[in-house]
Amino acid sequence: MDPWSWICELPESPEFFESDSHAVFQLAGDLTRSIKLRAEWDSGSEPESHSLTFKVIVEGFDRVKTSTIWVSDTCLLSSEKPFLPLVLQVLRELISHSPTTRDGARTKSELLEIKPGPVSWVMDSHSPESFSSVFNLILLVRLFWLCVFDAPSEVGSFFFQNLLGPHVNALTCQQAPVLRTFLVSLGVDAELCIVRAASYALSKWMISKEVGLGNLGLKQFSSSLMPSHPSLGFSYATEAHGLWILKGYFPILSMNVTNNSSNQIQNKIVKFPFVEPKEAVLRYALSHQQAEILVQFEYSVKFHENYIKVNARVDNIRIHMSKLGFQNGGVGLENKIADCYSEERYFPSRVRVWLGPEIGSSHVSGLSLGRSTKNEEREVEVTRVLKGNFGKGKVAPRVKARARMSTKRKVKDWKIEQDSEGNAAVFDAVLYDRESGQEVTTVKPNRNQEGLKNVFTKSGGMVFGRDEYGDEVGWRVGREMEGSVLKWRMGGKIWLTYWPNKLNTSFYETRCVEWCDEVDLPLLPTSN
């Protein structure tokens, strides 16, 4: 599916203007039904007024009253960038349908004012074949809303099975570097709207897959959810102002299950078992959550007489649990479910990030680790009050007694340390259960568990500052590498756990996601 390349070729085809008034690109179809993108040419009195209008057409469906379900703004062919308005329109409509969060700092109206400059720059600096990954993403998410929510159910089922399923990889930015450039150029606010909208569509597809609603294009894609394959979602690394930044956005269902109450793990994909309706609704609500992870390393390059020193330290690790729901104007039943289960969230239970040169770098050696942050223990006081009455009868008065017992014990929430794997520095943080003293990722929760409520942010996330992971680490590079550009790799592995909060349920589970990327490290004296 490459509609962008087809669009870019339309004005260059003289036959298109002379022989027909429209052209059609089939997005998906079978023997009787189809979803098409149609370009209609309007020839004005002057060449400057020649224009194109794009329409999304559905054909062969019984309950569809009209075949046209979407119409674009007019694209003037005489313009220097005739299709920039089309890209901006689809992008703004995608953002307008993005799931909102209750703690969002920006309003939709502010984000809809996307400046055309960054979008135009990305279009100009990449070939149509490269930019197609961007257009495929925003078009597919826009089609999701058109076909699943704004059209009869038969169109939505057809969309899931014949369009979204076979092309679900378009909803990730893995293996598409231009998507990374596009997201960085738009800024983090627009980036969040785009990835949340895409993750919402992705979550709906995975929910349908788990409950077994049709094939949904799984035969050609099921291997992508195996542990050896990157999880579905958005992830990329970049460099900015002396920081190496690693980002990851992963819907909860795209993560591998490592521990749960049912232990029905099959190829790391958990099928929905027959459970009580209350638990089924809970799991449906939990399926609309997404881990949004930001890892920042502060780095420096220093030149010495016989070697070059590359230093790095953890600047920030932030994990936010976002709910892919709607605050106002959302889907009615879905809104009610989200409100009923608003207190039920996954939380980070282990964080492992690493940083180092690319594998096989013989010119890099001498990894030096800093001290690990001491594992602080906090005292917890437990107080029990006993009441009792002594004495019976009407003659002898009763004696009331009260006794108070207080015990103290030391507990630790997170164990944070540095380690190494080959030439990579590893930063590990593990959350421990106060009751059992074991790792949260491996234990069954206590129904009376109260100890973890003050460990996380109000939204269930976690922030690690630079002072928690110890001193900086460093590598020595041969001086002969001066002037070259090295590849520096970084990765993350995050465990998320769900324990019941306000619900009386036996369901619990832990999921895990792992990913990595690389950035360029120029060894130039000016970077000293």
Is residue 325 within 8 Å of 338, Cβ to Cβ?
yes
**Residue 399 counted as domain residue:** yes
Only one residue has tokens 């039904």, namely 33
The beta-carbon contacts of 298-306 under 8 Å, at least 24 apart in sequence, are 298/242, 298/243, 298/466, 298/472, 299/242, 299/243, 299/244, 299/521, 300/242, 301/521, 301/523, 301/527, 301/528, 302/528, 303/479, 303/482, 303/525, 303/528, 304/479, 305/479, 306/479
Say how far apart CA 202 and CA 377 lie, in whole Å.
41
Residue 245: its pLDDT value, please? 95
Cα 526 to Cα 528: distance, rounded to the nearest angstrom = 5
Let me know if residue 401 belongs to a domain: yes
- Residue 396, domain member (yes or no): yes
* DSSP bridge partners of 298: 243, 313
Please tell me whether residue 353 adopts helix, strand or coil conformation.
Answer: strand
Q: Give the H or E element holding residue 128.
A: helix 128-144
**Per-residue pLDDT tens digits for 226-242:** 333 356 889 999 999 99
Q: Is the distance from CB of 165 to CB of 217 less than 8 angstroms?
A: yes
Q: Which residues, listed in sequence order, are joined to residue 386 by a DSSP beta bridge? A: 403
d(CA 149, CA 330): 11
In three-state secondary structure terms, 483 is: coil
* Residue 36 buriedness (CB in 10 A; 0-12 / 13-18 / 19+): middle
Helix H or strand E encompassing 209: helix 188-210
What number of residues does the chain have?
Answer: 528
What pLDDT is stored for residue 169 in this prediction? 83
Domain membership flag for residue 393: yes
What would the pLDDT profile of 481-508 be if each residue is shown by its tens digit? 999 999 999 999 999 999 988 888 888 9
Angle in degrees, 0-180, between the axes of helices 128-144 and 84-96, rounded to the nearest 10: 40
Residue 405 lies in a domain: yes
Please give the pLDDT value at position 103: 45
Would residue 92 count as lying in a domain? no
Q: How many domains does the chain have?
A: 1
Residue 489 corresponds to which tokens in the numbers above?
Answer: 């790799």
How many CB atoms sit inside 10 A of residue 375's CB?
13
Q: Which domain holds residue 402?
A: 378-410
Show contacts of 266-273: CB within 8 Å, 24+ apart. Answer: 267/225, 267/226, 268/225, 268/226, 268/227, 269/210, 269/225, 270/210, 270/509, 271/210, 271/212, 272/210, 272/211
Beta bridge partners, 310, equal 301, 475
Q: Would 455 be classed as within a structural domain?
A: no
**Token pair 């000016």: residue:** 526
> Is residue 404 domain-resident?
yes
Regions of the chain with pLDDT less than 70:
12-21, 44-48, 100-112, 173-176, 211-231, 263-276, 326-333, 335, 338, 371-412, 447-455, 458, 526-528
State whether the Cα torsion 253-259-265-268 is positive or negative: positive
DSSP string, 6-49: HHHHGGG-HHHHHH-SEEEEEEEE-SS-EEEEEEEEE--SSGGG
